[in-house]
C-alpha cells in the first residue's frame, strides 16, 4: 500500500481552491486525513471540557440574525443585567466541582462600557484564583480594554468571525467584518489566547464555509480554540426558517477545520444538543476535541452533563488533562465520574 503523508505544519496562505478541494474529497478520505492530522498533534481520545455562563443576557444592540439575544428581535428571551460578581464566582466554583477546567463568561453586548470594566476585572481575578482557566466574550474590545483584561488574568477571548466576508452582510449590519478582525488583533496584542470560529447552516453557500475557514486559518496566528457552531434556529429570529444544513456537510466542515488548523482545539459548540450520539462521535473522529459541558450554552440548551459523560464513556473519551495540578485533579474527578457511569455500583452502602 502507498504511504500517505499529511500536511501537519500550520499554514497561513490557504487559497479558496485548496479549501474547496478538501471539502470535495470522498468522505472517508477526508475523515482519514483529518484523523491523521489530529493524531499528529493531540491525544485522539481526549476532549477538552469548558463551561459557559451568560453573565449578561439579551437586549444586545447588534442585529446578528441568528441570535436570540439581539434586541432587534422578539424571541421572548428573559433579559438579565450584568450578574453580580459573587454570583458568577459561585457558578464558577460549581463548574469546577463538576470537573470543568475552563470557565467562559459571555455577555450580550456590542462592547463593554468603561463602567463595567471594574466588575469584569473582579470576575476574571476571582475565577482565575480558583485555578480555572478564564475566557470571556464581551463583543468589540478597544486596545486598552484588552490590556486591562489580560492584566487581570484573562486567558482567552472569544470573538467569532461568524461567516465569510462575502456572506457577512446578510447576517450582521451593525458591525463590520473589519471591526471583528481589529478586536482579534487587539486581543493578540494584549497577549491573550484567541477563541474564534463561526456558524454554519445560516443559508450560506459551500464557498462561504470554505472562505470562513480560510479567513480563520490565514490569520497571523491560528486561534487556540475554533468553535464550529451549527445554527440553532430560534423562533423570532430572521433565520428561524432557514433550510437545515446536511449533517455530513457539518462533519466535513469540522474535518476541514482540523486539517487547516492542526494545532487548534476545534470545538463542537452550539447545535450539539440537536445532534445524536453517532453524529457527535463522527465529529470527534473528524477532529473536534473540545465541548461545552453543562446544561447551558449561553441561552441555547446543551445536552445534559450526564448525557455527555455517558457518551464519553461509550467512546472511551476522557477529559483533556492540563499541566496545572489543581485542574488536573478536576479532570481526573470527571474521569472518575465517567468510569462510575460505566460500572454502576451493584449496591448502595447503607447511609
Q: What's the N-to-C CA distance of the chain in angstroms?
A: 61
Q: How far is the CB of 178 from ligand SF4 (least distance, A)?
A: 16
Total number of residues that touch ligand SF4 (CB under 6 A): 8
Give the bridge partners for 135, in sequence order.
104, 156
Q: How far is the CB of 249 from ligand SF4 (least distance, A)?
A: 22
The answer to whether 132 contacts ligand SF4 (rule: CB under 6 A) is no
DSSP assigned state of 234: -
Question: Nearest Cα to 99, choosing from 328, 350, 345?
Answer: 328
Nearer to ligand SF4, 107 or 291 (CB): 107
DSSP assigned state of 242: P
283 catalytic residue (yes or no): no
Catalytic residue, chosen from 102, 104, 175, 180, is 104
Check: CB of residue 311 under 8 Å from CB of residue 291.
Answer: no
Contact positions with ligand SF4 (CB under 6 A) in 37-76: 60, 62, 64, 67, 69-70
Q: How far is the CB of 299 from ligand SF4 (least distance, A)?
A: 9
Nearer to ligand SF4, 73 or 103 (CB): 73
Sign of the torsion angle spanned by Cα atoms 242, 161, 42, 337: negative
Q: Per the annotation, where are the binding residues for [2Fe-2S] cluster?
A: 104, 135, 195, 267
Question: Nearest Cα to 213, choosing from 201, 196, 195?
Answer: 196
Catalytic residue, chosen from 175, 195, 258, 272, is 195
- The Cα–Cα gap between 326 and 332 comes to 10
Nearer to ligand SF4, 160 or 210 (CB): 160
Coil, helix or strand for 265? strand
Catalytic residue, chosen from 67, 175, 180, 283, is 67
Q: How far is the CB of 298 from ligand SF4 (least distance, A)?
A: 8
- The Cα–Cα gap between 127 and 290 comes to 20
Rule CB under 6 A: choose which of 77, 108, 228, 291 binds ligand SF4.
Answer: 108
Nearer to ligand SF4, 111 or 341 (CB): 111
195 catalytic residue (yes or no): yes
The answer to whether 139 contacts ligand SF4 (rule: CB under 6 A) is yes
Give the bridge partners for 56, in sequence order.
107
Q: How far is the CB of 60 from ligand SF4 (least distance, A)?
A: 3
Task: Give the β-pairing of 296-297 and 300-301.
Answer: antiparallel
* 60 CB neighbour count, 10 Å cutoff: 21
Catalytic residue, chosen from 252, 267, 272, 283, is 267
Check: CB of residue 196 under 8 Å from CB of residue 212.
Answer: no
- The Cα–Cα gap between 55 and 139 comes to 13
The answer to whether 259 contacts ligand SF4 (rule: CB under 6 A) is no
Catalytic residue, chosen from 135, 175, 258, 272, is 135
Catalytic center residues: 60, 64, 67, 104, 135, 195, 267
Residues forming the site for ligand SF4 (CB under 6 A): 60, 62, 64, 67, 69-70, 108, 139
Amino acid at each position: 500500500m502507498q504511504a500517505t503523508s499529511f500536511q501537519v505544519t500550520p499554514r497561513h496562505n490557504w487559497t479558496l481552491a485548496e479549501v474547496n478541494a478538501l471539502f470535495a474529497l470522498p468522505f472517508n478520505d477526508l475523515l482519514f486525513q483529518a484523523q491523521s492530522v489530529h493524531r499528529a498533534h493531540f491525544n485522539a481520545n481526549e476532549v477538552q471540557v469548558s463551561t459557559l455562563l451568560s453573565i449578561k443576557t439579551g437586549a444586545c444592540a447588534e442585529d446578528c440574525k441568528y441570535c436570540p439575544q439581539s434586541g432587534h428581535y422578539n424571541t421572548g428571551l428573559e433579559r438579565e443585567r450584568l450578574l453580580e460578581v459573587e454570583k458568577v464566582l459561585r457558578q464558577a466554583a460549581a463548574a469546577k466541582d463538576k470537573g470543568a477546567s475552563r470557565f467562559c463568561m459571555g455577555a450580550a453586548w456590542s462592547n463593554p462600557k468603561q463602567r463595567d470594566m471594574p466588575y469584569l476585572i473582579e470576575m476574571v481575578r476571582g475565577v482565575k484564583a480558583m485555578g480555572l482557566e478564564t475566557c470571556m466574550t464581551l463583543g468589540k474590545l478597544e486596545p486598552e480594554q484588552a490590556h486591562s483584561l489580560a492584566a487581570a488574568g484573562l486567558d482567552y477571548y472569544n470573538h467569532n468571525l461568524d461567516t465569510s466576508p462575502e456572506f457577512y452582510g446578510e447576517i450582521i449590519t451593525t458591525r463590520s467584518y473589519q471591526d471583528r478582525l481589529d478586536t482579534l488583533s487587539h486581543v493578540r496584542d494584549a497577549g491573550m489566547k484567541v477563541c474564534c470560529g463561526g456558524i454554519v447552516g445560516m443559508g450560506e453557500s459551500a464557498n462561504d464555509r470554505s472562505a470562513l475557514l480560510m479567513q480563520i486559518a490565514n490569520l497571523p496566528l491560528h486561534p487556540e480554540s475554533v468553535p464550529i457552531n451549527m445554527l440553532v434556529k430560534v423562533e423570532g429570529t430572521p433565520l428561524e426558517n432557514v433550510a437545515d444544513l446536511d449533517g455530513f456537510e457539518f462533519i466535513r466542515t469540522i474535518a476541514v477545520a482540523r486539517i487547516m488548523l492542526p494545532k487548534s482545539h476545534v470545538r463542537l459548540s452550539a447545535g450539539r444538543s440537536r445532534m445524536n450520539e453517532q453524529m457527535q462521535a463522527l465529529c470527534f473522529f473528524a477532529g473536534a476535541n473540545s465541548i461545552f459541558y453543562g446544561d447551558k450554552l449561553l441561552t441555547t440548551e446543551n445536552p445534559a452533563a450526564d448525557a455527555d459523560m455517558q457518551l464519553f464513556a461509550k467512546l472511551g473519551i476522557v477529559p483533556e488533562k492540563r499541566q496545572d495540578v489543581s485542574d488536573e485533579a478536576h479532570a481526573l474527578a470527571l474521569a472518575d465520574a465517567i468510569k462510575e457511569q460505566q460500572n454502576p455500583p451493584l449496591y448502595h452502602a447503607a447511609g
